[in-house]
Chains A and B, each alone.
Chain A
Amino acid sequence: AQTVTQSQPEMSVQEAETVTLSCTYDTSESDYYLFWYKQPPSRQMILVIRQEAYKQQNATENRFSVNFQKAAKSFSLKISDSQLGDAAMYFCALGVETSGSRLTFGEGTQLTVNP
Chain B
Amino acid sequence: DAGVIQSPRHEVTEMGQEVTLRCKPISGHNSLFWYRQTMMRGLELLIYFNNNVPIDDSGMPEDRFSAKMPNASFSTLKIQPSEPRDSAVYFCASTLTDRISGKQFFGPGTRLTVL
Contacts and interface: CB of A to CB of B under 8 A. Distances in A.
B1 to A, nearest CB: 14
A32 B91 contact: no
Contacts of A102: 33, 45, 48, 56, 100
B45 to A, nearest CB: 5
Interface string B28-44: 00010100000000111
Contacts of A97: 99-101
B109 A101 contact: no
On chain A, which size bracket covers the interface? 20 to 34
B103 A99 contact: no
A68 interface: no
Nearest to A108: B42
Nearest to B42: A107
Interface in B76-112: 89, 91, 93, 95, 97-106, 108-109, 111
A103 B103 contact: no
Interface residues of B, number: 27
A45 to B, nearest CB: 4
Contacts, number: 62
Nearest to B49: A101
B106 A101 contact: no
B115 interface: no
Contacts of B109: 43-45
A96 B89 CA distance: 25
15 contacts: A43-B109, A43-B111, A44-B106, A44-B109, A45-B106, A97-B99, A99-B100, A100-B55, A100-B56, A101-B33, A101-B95, A101-B98, A102-B100, A103-B45, A105-B42
Interface of A: 32-33, 37, 42-47, 50, 52, 91, 95-97, 99-103, 105-108
Given A37-B106, A45-B109, 4 more contacts: A33-B100, A99-B100, A103-B104, A107-B42
